[in-house]
């Protein structure tokens, strides 16, 4: 991991906070894929993080309860309650066991400490080993909460050459109509991360078919 990421983890831990890399970096590290997709999860609250890194240039994103330091997101453990698919109500929590429930797919719900030890509370490694895309929670709830996860499921399947788990696939098609609620800006952001336009056309044909 990059020196700056390690310094962030060390500073949080040295001040009696828990801190882990979570999500894309951990997934890609295990798959031996090159990545610099660093997201840090911690039980430190945003105010704590700001105080600890007062010597750094940081940006506080109050809507999402995180701090950005040189493009590295540091996010407090939390749970999300959705009233709409864009801005969930955020409640801070103290443990990974609660934080993991808000993650989109199991393969993105692995945590890693500074010593490269993997923390897996939901048997996500099994899905990663079997090359399966599956939502952390009930897929009907997951896609209804945030339909952008439909596009993300397709992107990860295409990018990693994984299969979408059956129940996840059924729910994906069931809630495909909700893609109309997603802004072009958010969809285009996903496209830039790895969905060719030709593939996206096929995605729409697939998820919207009856």
Mean pLDDT of 152-162: 89
Quote the pLDDT of residue 206.
56
The rounded percent of the chain whose pLDDT value lies above 70 is 90
Which pLDDT band holds residue 210 (cuts at 50, 70, 90)? very low
Task: Lowest mean pLDDT of 9-23, 71-85, 194-208, name the range.
Answer: 194-208
CATH 3.30.460.10 fits domain 1-127:
yes
Domain boundaries, the chain: 1-127, 131-210
CATH class of 131-210: mainly alpha
| Interhelix angle 197-207/166-174, nearest 10 degrees | 80
Quote the pLDDT of residue 184.
79
Task: Lowest mean pLDDT of 88-97, 134-143, 184-193, name the range.
Answer: 184-193
What is the DSSP pairing of strand 66-69 with strand 72-76? Answer: antiparallel
Which pLDDT band holds residue 130 (cuts at 50, 70, 90)? very high
Residues 30-68 pLDDT 10s: 999 988 889 999 999 999 999 999 998 888 887 777 899
Quote the pLDDT of residue 80.
86
Q: Supply 160's token pair.
A: 């990693």
Residues 163-202 pLDDT 10s: 999 999 999 989 988 888 888 787 777 777 766 556 666 5
- Does residue 128 or residue 85 have the better pLDDT? 128
- Judge contact between 19 and 35, C-beta under 8 A: no
Quote the pLDDT of residue 186.
79
Mean pLDDT of 112-135: 96
């Amino acid at each position: 991991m990059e020196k700056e990421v390690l310094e962030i983890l060390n500073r949080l831990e040295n001040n009696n906070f828990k801190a882990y890399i979570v999500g894309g970096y951990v997934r890609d590290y295990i798959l031996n894929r090159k990545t610099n997709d660093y997201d840090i999860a911690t039980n430190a609250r945003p105010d704590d993080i700001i105080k600890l890194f007062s010597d750094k240039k940081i940006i506080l994103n109050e809507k999402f309860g995180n701090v950005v330091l040189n493009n590295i997101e540091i996010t407090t453990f939390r749970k999300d309650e959705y009233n709409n698919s864009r801005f969930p109500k955020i409640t801070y929590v103290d443990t990974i066991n609660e934080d993991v429930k808000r993650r989109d797919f199991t393969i993105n719900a692995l945590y890693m400490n500074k010593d490269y030890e993997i923390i897996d509370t939901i048997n996500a490694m099994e899905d990663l080993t079997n090359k399966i895309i599956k939502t952390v929670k009930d897929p009907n709830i997951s896609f209804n909460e945030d339909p952008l996860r439909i596009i993300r499921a397709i992107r990860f399947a295409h990018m990693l050459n994984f299969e979408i788990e059956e129940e996840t696939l059924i729910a994906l098609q069931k809630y495909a109509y909700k893609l109309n609620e997603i802004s072009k800006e958010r969809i285009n952001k996903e496209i830039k991360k790895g969905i060719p336009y030709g593939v996206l056309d096929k995605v729409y044909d697939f998820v919207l078919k009856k």
